[in-house]
Amino acid sequence: MTATQAKLTYADYLETSDDERYELLNGELIEYPSPKEIHQYISGILHLMIGTFVRERSLGKVYFSPFDVVLSDTNVVQPDILFISNERADIITSDNVQGAPDLVVEILSPATVERDRTVKLELYAHHGVKEYWIVDPDAKTVTVLLRGEGGFEVDGIYGEGETLRSPTLTGFSLAMGEVFEV
């Protein structure tokens, strides 16, 4: 986007085709290609594991992409997986989520890797996401970031043979072998 181009807003975003996958990042409309098989496989496992844990304990709701998260009028994202606690359920509407989820999971792909590690990381920190997971299918790791005073801080990087424990979902654990067994 050049300095002379006007920033797009949520109203502009709503005019996009339902047949395409878009996000609105800092007023710029970004189109994403369909995810690859490994992305979808990992997304399915994580949604099943996190969703089952949350549902069995009645902790809140878990969603998967595509589902709009409106962080501001110029920032609309579609995280791969998101969790919203019961205490914050008022941000869930029939059309979208109006505010920051408690937990966001992004699975890296060639089309998203740069934005997931920079622009979206900054957006999630700025808007109040408590915990952010960056899943790297190539490295077979999950980086867990927690929001601190100055932004996100690395809580842990989990790889082969290790078990991830979520600070936000107390009691939740996930063996990396279950995520990356392909």
Per-residue model confidence (pLDDT) at position 25: 85
101-144 tens-digit pLDDT: 999 999 998 888 888 898 999 999 999 999 999 999 999 999 99
pLDDT category, 4, cuts 50, 70, 90?
low
- Where does 36-179 sit in CATH, by number? 3.90.1570.10
Q: Where are the domains of the chain?
A: 36-179
Amino acid 149 reads: E
How far apart are the C-alpha atoms of 70 and 135, rounded to whole Å? Answer: 22
Pairing relation of β-strands 131-136 and 69-72? unpaired
Per-residue model confidence (pLDDT) at position 36: 85
Per-residue model confidence (pLDDT) at position 110: 85
Tokens of 22: 């878009």
